[in-house]
Structure 1
Amino acid sequence: EIMVTVREQSTGEVIREIPPSEILDLAARLGEMVGLLFDRRG
């Protein structure tokens, strides 16, 4: 997985993350849900 972080050069403050960490978290949760569905079906 690749994360691009845009920072303010003078302060080092993160301006933007592409893709945002929330989207990566959502993708991980969806992957877990798919795994649970397949585990239950055998």
Structure 2
Amino acid sequence: QLKIISATRNFDRQKEIWENKWNGKTPVEGKDISGMAGAEKRS
């Protein structure tokens, strides 16, 4: 049985997740997006 404990993420945690992806610390779909142009990151 799956029990959801919390489905809430505060702004600071979400910002940290996004910035880690943007800066290449966390891969996005297996890719480092830090070197991509702005339009490529958003597509």
Higher RCO, Cα 8 Å, sep 6+: 1
With the length of structure 1 as denominator, give the TM-score of the two structures.
0.40
With the length of structure 2 as denominator, give the TM-score of the two structures.
0.39
Larger radius of gyration: 1
